[in-house]
Amino acid sequence: MSKTVLVFDSGVGGLSIYEPIRQQLPELNFLYAFDNACFPYGELSESRLVERCCQVITAVLARHPVDLVVIACNTASTHVLPTLRPMLSIPVVGVVPAIKPAASATRNGCIGLLATPGTIARPYTQRLIQEFAAHHRVLLCGTTELVVQAERKLMGLEVELPVLTEVLAPWQQGEQKPDTLVLGCTHFPLLKQEIAALLPDVTLVDSGAAVAQRVCHLLGAQSVSSQKKYRGPTVPAMMTRPRDCDRPCRPTASTASPAWLLVSRREIQTIPPHSPVSHWLPAPSGFAAGTPSR
Protein backbone atom coordinates (compact mmCIF):
# COMPACT_ATOMS: atom_id res chain seq x y z
CA MET A 1 0.00 0.00 0.00
CA SER A 2 1.29 3.46 -0.88
CA LYS A 3 2.34 5.71 1.96
CA THR A 4 0.37 8.79 2.89
CA VAL A 5 1.72 12.31 3.46
CA LEU A 6 -0.16 15.09 5.24
CA VAL A 7 0.68 18.55 3.88
CA PHE A 8 -0.35 21.26 6.34
CA ASP A 9 -0.48 25.05 6.11
CA SER A 10 -2.64 27.97 7.18
CA GLY A 11 -3.83 28.40 3.58
CA VAL A 12 -3.01 27.39 0.02
CA GLY A 13 0.68 28.30 0.20
CA GLY A 14 1.54 24.70 1.00
CA LEU A 15 0.64 23.79 -2.57
CA SER A 16 4.04 25.18 -3.58
CA ILE A 17 5.53 22.42 -1.41
CA TYR A 18 3.01 19.77 -2.41
CA GLU A 19 3.85 20.16 -6.09
CA PRO A 20 7.56 19.22 -6.00
CA ILE A 21 6.83 16.33 -3.63
CA ARG A 22 4.14 15.02 -5.98
CA GLN A 23 6.45 15.49 -8.96
CA GLN A 24 9.18 13.40 -7.34
CA LEU A 25 6.88 10.87 -5.64
CA PRO A 26 3.72 10.51 -7.75
CA GLU A 27 2.78 7.19 -6.11
CA LEU A 28 2.22 8.70 -2.67
CA ASN A 29 -1.20 9.40 -1.23
CA PHE A 30 -1.73 12.95 -0.01
CA LEU A 31 -3.94 14.79 2.41
CA TYR A 32 -3.97 18.59 2.39
CA ALA A 33 -5.16 20.39 5.51
CA PHE A 34 -5.23 24.14 5.97
CA ASP A 35 -6.15 26.12 9.05
CA ASN A 36 -7.92 29.03 7.41
CA ALA A 37 -9.79 29.79 10.64
CA CYS A 38 -6.49 31.21 11.96
CA PHE A 39 -5.11 32.52 8.67
CA PRO A 40 -2.57 34.11 8.34
CA TYR A 41 -0.17 32.41 10.74
CA GLY A 42 2.33 35.24 10.39
CA GLU A 43 0.11 37.41 12.60
CA LEU A 44 -0.28 34.94 15.50
CA SER A 45 1.79 35.02 18.67
CA GLU A 46 4.36 32.25 19.01
CA SER A 47 2.49 30.51 21.84
CA ARG A 48 -0.81 30.62 19.98
CA LEU A 49 0.79 29.40 16.77
CA VAL A 50 2.38 26.40 18.49
CA GLU A 51 -0.84 25.54 20.29
CA ARG A 52 -2.95 25.81 17.19
CA CYS A 53 -0.73 23.81 14.84
CA CYS A 54 -0.35 20.98 17.33
CA GLN A 55 -4.10 21.04 17.93
CA VAL A 56 -5.12 20.78 14.29
CA ILE A 57 -2.40 18.35 13.15
CA THR A 58 -3.05 15.89 15.96
CA ALA A 59 -6.78 16.11 15.22
CA VAL A 60 -6.16 15.12 11.60
CA LEU A 61 -3.84 12.28 12.59
CA ALA A 62 -6.44 10.92 15.00
CA ARG A 63 -8.80 10.55 12.05
CA HIS A 64 -6.49 9.52 9.20
CA PRO A 65 -3.57 7.08 8.89
CA VAL A 66 -0.52 9.13 7.87
CA ASP A 67 3.14 8.14 7.43
CA LEU A 68 4.75 11.58 7.37
CA VAL A 69 3.73 15.18 8.07
CA VAL A 70 4.99 18.17 6.10
CA ILE A 71 4.48 21.53 7.78
CA ALA A 72 4.42 23.52 4.55
CA CYS A 73 4.70 26.89 6.25
CA ASN A 74 7.92 28.71 7.09
CA THR A 75 6.40 30.61 10.00
CA ALA A 76 4.92 27.48 11.57
CA SER A 77 8.04 25.40 10.96
CA THR A 78 10.37 27.79 12.74
CA HIS A 79 8.17 27.80 15.85
CA VAL A 80 6.31 24.48 16.02
CA LEU A 81 8.76 21.69 15.17
CA PRO A 82 10.46 21.42 18.60
CA THR A 83 7.08 20.93 20.28
CA LEU A 84 5.32 18.81 17.65
CA ARG A 85 8.02 16.25 16.86
CA PRO A 86 8.14 14.69 20.36
CA MET A 87 4.34 14.36 20.27
CA LEU A 88 4.32 12.13 17.18
CA SER A 89 5.70 8.73 16.25
CA ILE A 90 6.05 9.61 12.55
CA PRO A 91 8.52 11.95 10.82
CA VAL A 92 7.74 15.66 10.58
CA VAL A 93 9.38 17.75 7.85
CA GLY A 94 9.46 21.52 8.12
CA VAL A 95 10.30 24.32 5.72
CA VAL A 96 13.06 26.86 6.35
CA PRO A 97 14.16 29.81 4.22
CA ALA A 98 16.52 28.76 1.42
CA ILE A 99 19.42 30.91 2.61
CA LYS A 100 22.10 28.33 1.81
CA PRO A 101 21.27 27.88 -1.90
CA ALA A 102 20.77 31.64 -2.24
CA ALA A 103 24.26 32.27 -0.84
CA SER A 104 25.64 29.93 -3.51
CA ALA A 105 23.61 31.51 -6.28
CA THR A 106 24.26 35.21 -5.68
CA ARG A 107 26.68 36.97 -8.01
CA ASN A 108 26.86 40.40 -6.45
CA GLY A 109 26.82 39.24 -2.82
CA CYS A 110 23.45 40.81 -2.04
CA ILE A 111 20.51 38.56 -1.11
CA GLY A 112 16.91 39.51 -0.39
CA LEU A 113 14.81 37.52 2.09
CA LEU A 114 11.07 37.95 1.57
CA ALA A 115 9.11 36.29 4.38
CA THR A 116 6.44 36.88 7.00
CA PRO A 117 7.31 39.14 9.94
CA GLY A 118 7.36 36.10 12.23
CA THR A 119 9.94 34.29 10.11
CA ILE A 120 12.08 37.44 9.78
CA ALA A 121 12.13 37.96 13.56
CA ARG A 122 12.80 34.33 14.46
CA PRO A 123 16.31 33.73 15.91
CA TYR A 124 16.52 30.56 13.81
CA THR A 125 16.40 32.67 10.65
CA GLN A 126 19.21 34.84 11.94
CA ARG A 127 21.27 31.73 12.65
CA LEU A 128 20.74 30.53 9.08
CA ILE A 129 22.02 33.86 7.80
CA GLN A 130 25.05 33.76 10.07
CA GLU A 131 25.85 30.17 9.14
CA PHE A 132 25.39 30.32 5.37
CA ALA A 133 25.50 33.99 4.34
CA ALA A 134 27.71 35.71 6.88
CA HIS A 135 29.90 37.18 4.13
CA HIS A 136 26.96 38.45 2.09
CA ARG A 137 24.62 41.37 2.56
CA VAL A 138 21.12 40.06 3.38
CA LEU A 139 18.22 42.50 3.02
CA LEU A 140 15.11 41.56 5.01
CA CYS A 141 11.46 42.24 4.20
CA GLY A 142 8.61 40.94 6.36
CA THR A 143 5.09 41.03 4.91
CA THR A 144 1.76 39.24 5.22
CA GLU A 145 0.22 41.21 2.36
CA LEU A 146 1.65 38.89 -0.28
CA VAL A 147 0.20 35.91 1.58
CA VAL A 148 -3.25 37.37 0.99
CA GLN A 149 -2.42 38.01 -2.68
CA ALA A 150 -1.38 34.38 -3.19
CA GLU A 151 -4.66 33.22 -1.65
CA ARG A 152 -6.54 35.55 -4.01
CA LYS A 153 -4.69 34.17 -7.01
CA LEU A 154 -5.52 30.56 -6.31
CA MET A 155 -9.16 31.44 -5.76
CA GLY A 156 -9.23 32.87 -9.27
CA LEU A 157 -9.22 36.51 -8.14
CA GLU A 158 -6.98 39.22 -9.56
CA VAL A 159 -3.61 39.79 -7.91
CA GLU A 160 -3.37 43.40 -6.77
CA LEU A 161 -0.13 44.41 -8.46
CA PRO A 162 0.15 47.79 -6.66
CA VAL A 163 0.43 45.84 -3.39
CA LEU A 164 3.34 43.79 -4.76
CA THR A 165 4.96 46.91 -6.19
CA GLU A 166 4.84 48.69 -2.84
CA VAL A 167 6.30 45.71 -0.96
CA LEU A 168 9.15 45.23 -3.43
CA ALA A 169 9.85 48.93 -4.06
CA PRO A 170 12.91 49.15 -1.74
CA TRP A 171 14.62 46.43 -3.79
CA GLN A 172 13.72 48.07 -7.08
CA GLN A 173 15.01 51.50 -6.10
CA GLY A 174 17.75 50.84 -3.52
CA GLU A 175 21.39 51.62 -4.10
CA GLN A 176 22.37 47.98 -3.69
CA LYS A 177 19.81 45.65 -5.17
CA PRO A 178 19.69 41.92 -4.46
CA ASP A 179 20.36 39.68 -7.43
CA THR A 180 18.95 36.66 -5.57
CA LEU A 181 15.67 36.60 -3.68
CA VAL A 182 14.67 33.96 -1.13
CA LEU A 183 10.93 33.32 -1.15
CA GLY A 184 10.77 32.61 2.58
CA CYS A 185 7.04 31.88 2.77
CA THR A 186 5.41 28.97 0.96
CA HIS A 187 2.73 31.30 -0.38
CA PHE A 188 5.23 33.40 -2.28
CA PRO A 189 6.23 30.88 -5.00
CA LEU A 190 2.60 31.05 -6.11
CA LEU A 191 3.37 34.66 -7.09
CA LYS A 192 6.62 33.89 -8.93
CA GLN A 193 5.38 35.24 -12.24
CA GLU A 194 4.32 38.55 -10.74
CA ILE A 195 7.47 38.93 -8.62
CA ALA A 196 9.70 38.08 -11.58
CA ALA A 197 7.97 40.74 -13.67
CA LEU A 198 8.77 43.38 -11.05
CA LEU A 199 12.32 42.08 -10.43
CA PRO A 200 13.29 40.76 -13.87
CA ASP A 201 17.02 40.33 -13.21
CA VAL A 202 16.67 38.60 -9.86
CA THR A 203 17.00 34.85 -9.28
CA LEU A 204 14.11 33.50 -7.18
CA VAL A 205 14.89 30.70 -4.74
CA ASP A 206 12.46 28.62 -2.68
CA SER A 207 12.53 25.46 -0.54
CA GLY A 208 10.22 23.17 -2.51
CA ALA A 209 12.83 20.90 -4.10
CA ALA A 210 14.79 20.51 -0.84
CA VAL A 211 11.67 19.50 1.07
CA ALA A 212 10.77 16.96 -1.60
CA GLN A 213 14.24 15.42 -1.37
CA ARG A 214 13.91 15.19 2.40
CA VAL A 215 10.57 13.42 2.11
CA CYS A 216 12.12 10.95 -0.35
CA HIS A 217 14.91 10.21 2.11
CA LEU A 218 12.66 9.74 5.15
CA LEU A 219 10.20 7.47 3.35
CA GLY A 220 12.94 5.49 1.67
CA ALA A 221 11.29 6.24 -1.65
CA GLN A 222 12.75 6.42 -5.12
CA SER A 223 12.44 9.85 -6.68
CA VAL A 224 11.00 10.06 -10.18
CA SER A 225 12.68 12.58 -12.46
CA SER A 226 10.13 14.13 -14.78
CA GLN A 227 9.68 17.46 -16.48
CA LYS A 228 6.00 16.73 -17.06
CA LYS A 229 3.51 18.39 -14.75
CA TYR A 230 1.56 15.88 -12.71
CA ARG A 231 -2.20 15.99 -13.30
CA GLY A 232 -3.26 13.15 -11.07
CA PRO A 233 -6.37 12.55 -9.00
CA THR A 234 -7.98 15.05 -6.69
CA VAL A 235 -6.18 15.60 -3.39
CA PRO A 236 -8.52 15.31 -0.39
CA ALA A 237 -8.52 18.72 1.27
CA MET A 238 -9.68 19.80 4.70
CA MET A 239 -10.11 23.26 6.15
CA THR A 240 -10.99 24.56 9.59
CA ARG A 241 -13.47 27.20 8.46
CA PRO A 242 -15.77 26.89 5.43
CA ARG A 243 -14.77 29.53 2.92
CA ASP A 244 -15.43 29.56 -0.80
CA CYS A 245 -16.28 25.88 -0.50
CA ASP A 246 -18.85 25.68 -3.28
CA ARG A 247 -16.25 26.00 -6.01
CA PRO A 248 -12.93 24.27 -6.63
CA CYS A 249 -9.65 25.98 -5.92
CA ARG A 250 -8.23 25.75 -9.42
CA PRO A 251 -4.79 26.92 -10.52
CA THR A 252 -4.44 29.45 -13.29
CA ALA A 253 -2.07 28.83 -16.16
CA SER A 254 0.62 30.82 -14.37
CA THR A 255 0.15 29.24 -10.94
CA ALA A 256 2.98 27.07 -9.68
CA SER A 257 0.78 24.31 -8.29
CA PRO A 258 -1.11 21.73 -10.41
CA ALA A 259 -3.27 20.67 -7.46
CA TRP A 260 -7.04 20.53 -7.70
CA LEU A 261 -8.61 20.92 -4.28
CA LEU A 262 -12.29 20.07 -4.51
CA VAL A 263 -14.05 20.61 -1.19
CA SER A 264 -17.78 20.45 -0.54
CA ARG A 265 -19.59 21.74 2.53
CA ARG A 266 -20.64 18.22 3.47
CA GLU A 267 -17.00 17.37 4.14
CA ILE A 268 -16.34 20.28 6.49
CA GLN A 269 -16.80 20.69 10.20
CA THR A 270 -15.64 24.02 11.55
CA ILE A 271 -12.81 24.19 14.06
CA PRO A 272 -13.27 27.61 15.72
CA PRO A 273 -10.04 29.57 16.22
CA HIS A 274 -10.26 29.55 20.01
CA SER A 275 -12.03 26.29 20.80
CA PRO A 276 -10.49 22.94 21.76
CA VAL A 277 -10.82 20.19 19.21
CA SER A 278 -12.33 16.93 20.45
CA HIS A 279 -13.05 15.60 16.97
CA TRP A 280 -12.64 16.89 13.49
CA LEU A 281 -14.35 16.31 10.19
CA PRO A 282 -15.53 13.09 8.56
CA ALA A 283 -13.22 11.47 6.05
CA PRO A 284 -13.37 13.21 2.66
CA SER A 285 -15.09 11.41 -0.19
CA GLY A 286 -12.89 8.62 -1.52
CA PHE A 287 -10.59 8.73 1.49
CA ALA A 288 -12.17 6.61 4.21
CA ALA A 289 -10.35 6.36 7.53
CA GLY A 290 -7.99 3.41 7.57
CA THR A 291 -8.16 2.87 3.83
CA PRO A 292 -6.30 5.66 2.06
CA SER A 293 -6.94 5.72 -1.66
CA ARG A 294 -5.55 7.69 -4.55
Per-residue b/e over 127-159, b at no fewer than 16 CB within 10 Å? ebbeebbeebebbbbbbbebbbbbbbbbeeeeb
Edge-first strand listing for the sheet containing 137-142 = 137-142, 110-115, 180-183, 203-205
Which of 31, 71, 66 shows the shortest CA–CA distance to 53?
71
Q: How many whole angstroms separate alpha carbon 282 and alpha carbon 29?
A: 18
Catalytic position from the list 38, 53, 141, 185: 185
Which of 149, 141, 145, 192 shows the shortest CA–CA distance to 171?
141
Catalytic position from the list 73, 110, 216, 245: 73
- Tell me the Ramachandran region of residue 2: left when phi exceeds 0, alpha when psi lies from -120 to 50, beta otherwise: beta
Kindly give the pairing relationship between strand 110-115 and strand 92-93. Answer: unpaired
Kindly give the pairing relationship between strand 137-142 and strand 203-205. Answer: unpaired
Is the Cβ–Cβ distance between 205 and 181 less than 8 Å?
Answer: yes
Largest CA distance in the chain: 58
Question: Residue 13, CB half-sphere, CA atoms under 13 Å: how many?
Answer: 33
The reply to whether 185 belongs to the active site is yes
What are residue 256's DSSP bridge partners? none
The reply to whether 38 belongs to the active site is no
Q: How many whole angstroms separate alpha carbon 134 and alpha carbon 121?
A: 17
Catalytic residue IDs: 73, 185
